[in-house]
Amino acid sequence: MSRDAAVWFDESRLDDEAALAGIDPTLRSLAEAGSRVRREAQVALDLAPEKVHEARSRPRPRAVVVAGTGSRLLRDVLEGSCPVPFVAWPGPGLPGWVGSLDLVVMLAPAGSDVPAAAAVAEAVRRGADVLVACPPDSLVAEHAVGRDVLVLPVGTGDPLAVAVVVLDLLASAGLGRAADAAHVAAALDDVAVRCSPHRDIAANPAKEVALGLADAQPVLWGGSALAARAARRVAEELRRVTGRAVLADDAEEVLPVVEAARPRDVFADPFTDGGAVARPTLVVLDDGDEAAVVREQAGRLRAAAAAHDVRVVEIGSDARSDVARHASLILQGRYVAAYLGLGLVPE
C-alpha cells in the first residue's frame, strides 16, 4: 500500500471482484467505446449515398469553420490536409466574417446545447452551408433548418464517435483525410481487451500505470498534436478522480517540473509530518510519431527524469491511423483514471 496526505492506495482493490463491481458502470461504458463508434458509423453508412452525394454536389467552401464539442480535434486532424482554410471555434457564436461562401460544421452529440443551437441558427441566417451532427429530435436539430443545411443524425452522445463520422463525411466531400471508423473502433476494442478488469495487474497496462501514479503528482506529455490533445483529456480525468494537481503541457513547461523534483528520501516516514510529499511521475503518451522534434523532446524529458530520479510511465498505441491512436491513448488514460480512483480509499 502507498499513502499520500489524504488517502491510502490499496492495490489489492484493482484485482478484487467486489471492488471492481462497484465501478462496473464506468468500466462498462469504457468497454463500449468501440461499439459506440460502430453504431454512429452504421447510421452514417445507412445515409451515406444521400449525404455523400449532397456533400459532394456543393461547391468547395471558402473556409471550414468547426464549432462545438470536438472542434479542436477536427482541427488537429484536418488542418494539414484540408484544401481550404480551417478554423476551430469552440467558443460561443461564430466568427464575424462567416458568410455564404463558408461551411459551418457543428458537433452537438447531446443536442441540448443552447449556444450550439444559437450558432447553427446564426449560420443559417448568414446563408452559410451547414453540416450539423446532432440527435434528430433535439434543440440543435430544431434550429438546423434551411436549404443549405445537412443534418447527420447521431445517437450515442459520445463526442469522439461523432467526431469520427464527421471526419469521414468531410473526407468524402474532399475536405480532408478520413478517420476510418473501422480502424478507430478496432483500436478501442483492443484497449478494452488489454485493460479489462478481468486481467490482473501483471497483465493489465492500465492497472500498472495506475499503480505507478498511486502516490504521485502526474505530469503528462504527448509529442504530436494529437498525443498532446490526448494528454490534456487524460489529465482532466486524473484531476477528477484524485483531486490532485495534474499537469499536461508542452515539453518546455513539463521539463522544469521534472527538474525541480525533490530528491527521494528512502528514510522518510510517510506516517509522520503530515505524510510524504507527492513527487512527480512523468507520463509519456506515445502515438509513434517519429518527427525529429518529438524524438528530441522525448529524449530530453527522459534524460531529465533519469537525472532527478523521477519515475516514467508510458501510455502508447500502434493503431493503424492517427485518429485511432489518439482514441486509443484517451481510452487507456480513462481506464488508468478509473483504476486509480478505485485504489484510492479514505484514511
Query: Would the CATH topology of 2-31+184-346 be identical to that of 59-172?
Result: yes
All three cell numbers of 175: 475536405
Torsion angle, CA of 214/283/250/109, rounded to 10 degrees? -80
Q: How many CB atoms lie within 10 A of CB 213?
A: 25
DSSP annotation of 136: S
Pinpoint the alpha helices (H) of 16-158: 17-21, 24-31, 33-46, 48-57, 71-78, 114-125, 139-143
| Beta bridge mates, 150 | 131
- pLDDT of the residue at 4: 47
Backbone phi, psi, residue 312, to 5°: -120, 130
CATH of 59-172, one of 3.40.50.300, 3.40.50.10490, 3.30.230.70, 3.40.470.10: 3.40.50.10490
- Burial of residue 2, with CB atoms counted within 10 A of its CB: 0-12 exposed, 13-18 middle, 19 or more buried: middle
All three cell numbers of 249: 503541457
User: CATH code for 2-31+184-346?
Assistant: 3.40.50.10490
Beta strands in the chain (DSSP E): 2-3, 7-9, 64-68, 86-89, 103-107, 129-134, 149-153, 216-222, 247-248, 279-286, 312-316, 344-346
For the whole prediction, is pTM greater than 0.85? yes
Per domain, the residue ranges of the chain are 2-31+184-346, 59-172
Half-sphere exposure of 332 (CA within 13 A, CB side): 30
CA distance 326 to 166: 16
Query: Across the 347 residues of the chain, what is the mean pLDDT of every consecutive 10-residue run?
Result: 64 96 97 96 76 68 90 87 91 90 94 93 94 93 91 92 92 89 96 97 96 95 95 96 93 96 66 63 96 96 96 95 95 98 88
Per DSSP bridges, beta strands 64-68 and 7-9 are unpaired
Measured between its terminal Cα atoms, the distance across the chain in Å is: 12
| Encoded amino acid at 264, one letter | R
All three cell numbers of 324: 485511432
